[in-house]
Amino acid sequence: MSSYQNTPELLQGTLDVMILSVLKNGPLHGYAIARQIERASGGELSIEEGSLYPALHRLSKRGDLDADWGETDTGRRARFYTLSRQGQKRLVEQTSLWQRVSTAVNSVLAAGPSSAAQEGSR
Amino acid sequence: MLDHFRTRLSRVDERPVDQIDRDIEDELAAHLEQLQADLIESGLPPAAAQAQALSRFGDPRKHKRRCRDVALMERRMKTYTQIIVTAGCGLLVAAVTTSLWFNQQSANAAIGDMSTKMADLANAVGSRTGMPAAGGVSPQTAAVYVTGDVPNPGQFAMPAGGVSLRRMLAAAGVNEWEVNSVVVSRKGAGGTGAPTRIAVPGLYLREDESKDVALQADDLLTVVKNEDASNVIARTHKPAHIRGPRVGEVLFVNGDVPNPGQYAIPTNGISLRRMLAVAGVNESDINHVMVDRTASGGSGKLVVAGTDLREGKEDLVLENNDLVMVVKNEKTRKSADGGPPAVIDPVEAVEAVAPSALPRR
């Protein structure tokens, strides 16, 4: 199902921004958030689903998310998370940051080993 | 930093801990059940679906513990803060209390040291001026007697280097500015010669130091204040009879006396006025004095009026076993003469008297 199992290094910063991102379209409970991330990444990113919850609780306590108990489509009791105004602002900031880092990393990767060898031969 | 700390404390989850635990468990269980149901729906057998669901979810206990830590973090922080603040306050109180205790100890030590120094100073002053160390009776052999209008009448030790009249008056608490006159009654040479009297006007004491008088042992000073100005100085003083050395003889003083009790008779004898001074009697307060000589087989009772004593008309040499009864002005002559004495029994007085009250020879 997943080709890349998350690690703490991956989760550091990226899980929070992914959660904020999938919630920008409306309230979701934890299971739905996990499915959204899985779908959006094309199955390439799959997190240990239980680790979503400490992150959700941390973001709620920080004020980025609002949480309320409700019922799922199947009638099951679940906690629904909504992006707060503060969370929306943080999502913009984190997205911008991630794009800058991603671009920088892509640039490094695009340089490739041949460029590094040319630099070393000078 | 402080704002961040305040913000964190404001996020304390106020739910009861068991409620927090139930909410976490419900949320995690709902996820696992939903995942398992979807896997079964996708065609997996229930057992395989359960196993795969657990594999993808991870250890539920670990996730519950981490959620619990997030929920209770601020609460623990608040508790630790309260403990630290309480401990800090306790330490502060202990430090302040300890500091105050040490300060008190230092103050006590300083007061004790000061008291010792003052006692030393008082002894030094007493040795120079003849001021009694305590009780008005000094262990010195030589003494000066002060009576009349004196705050502290009594017997004062004669310092080895001698003492002047002005210093002795100061020792007896006399304010020079209130003195009309002082009469110094002095025994004759060798205790047998003709006595002399030296009248010193208060004006001389205050304004002419050269008029000061060097006192001698056994001098009797009679102080008259301005408001009681009388002709004490001009009156003839009837001298007390002085006889030879007397050893082991005692007399008793009782009645309206600051220091009643048994007194040893000095080797060269003692007059009534001097004895009254020794016992702390202020002559100006005396109505009369009765000297009872019946215990020694003597001539019975002799009554001396206070006015005669004050004016120097009457004085007498006291004898062994004499009982001196003093009656102050407010007392009636009857209670001292005929009626029962309004004072304690002399025998009891002898038993009650402290050894320190006995004049030293």
What pLDDT does A75 receive? 85
Q: Quickly list H helices, chain B.
A: 2-10, 17-41, 46-57, 60-129, 165-171, 202-207, 272-278, 306-310, 333-337, 346-352
Centre a 10 Å sphere on the Cβ of residue B118 and count the other Cβ atoms it contains. Answer: 10
CB contact at 8 A, B256 and B285? yes
In chain A, residues with a C-beta closer than 8 Å to the C-beta of B15 are none
In chain A, residues with a C-beta closer than 8 Å to the C-beta of B31 are 30-31, 34, 49-50, 53
Chain-centroid distance of CA B301 in Å reads 43
Q: What are the residues facing A82 on neighbouring strands?
A: A66
Residue B192 has pLDDT above 70, yes or no: no
Centre a 10 Å sphere on the Cβ of residue A51 and count the other Cβ atoms it contains. Answer: 19
Tens digits of per-residue pLDDT, B226-246?
Answer: 764 443 333 333 333 333 445
Per-window interface: B 67-126 vs A, CB < 8 A: 67, 69-71, 74
Residue B258 has pLDDT above 60, yes or no: yes
Of A31, A50, A76, the CB nearest to B60: A50
Compute the distance between CA of residue A18 and CA of residue B335 in angstroms, rounded to an integer.
Answer: 118
Average pLDDT over residues A73-89: 92
Higher pLDDT, B226 or B192: B226
Q: Does ipTM top 0.90?
A: no
Of the ranges A22-26, A78-82, B141-145, B242-246, which one carries the lowest mean pLDDT score?
A: B242-246
Of A31, A34, A51, the CB nearest to B63: A51
Of the ranges B29-38, B80-89, B247-256, which one carries the lowest mean pLDDT score?
A: B247-256
Parallel/antiparallel/unpaired status of strands B143-148 and B154-157: antiparallel
Tens digits of per-residue pLDDT, B305-347?
Answer: 988 888 888 888 888 888 899 988 874 444 444 444 444 343 4
A53–B63 C-beta distance less than 8 A: yes
SS (HEC) of B176-191: HHHEEEEEEEECCHHH
A1–B70 C-beta distance less than 8 A: no
pLDDT band for position A2 (cuts 50, 70, 90): very low
Helix (H) or strand (E) holding B311: none
- pTM, two decimal places: 0.43
In chain B, residues with a C-beta closer than 8 Å to the C-beta of A78 are 27, 30
- Using the Cβ of B28 and the Cβ atoms of chain A, whether some distance falls under 8 Å is answered with yes
**CB pairs < 8 Å spanning A and B:** 64
B86 to chain A, closest Cα gap in Å: 27
**Those residues with Cβ within 8 angstroms of residue B24's Cβ, 6 or more apart along the chain or in another chain:** A53, B64, B67, B68, B71
Read off the tokens for B333.
């002559």
Centre a 10 Å sphere on the Cβ of residue B341 and count the other Cβ atoms it contains. Answer: 17
DSSP B125: H
pLDDT band for position B264 (cuts 50, 70, 90): confident
Largest alpha-carbon pair distance within chain B? 149
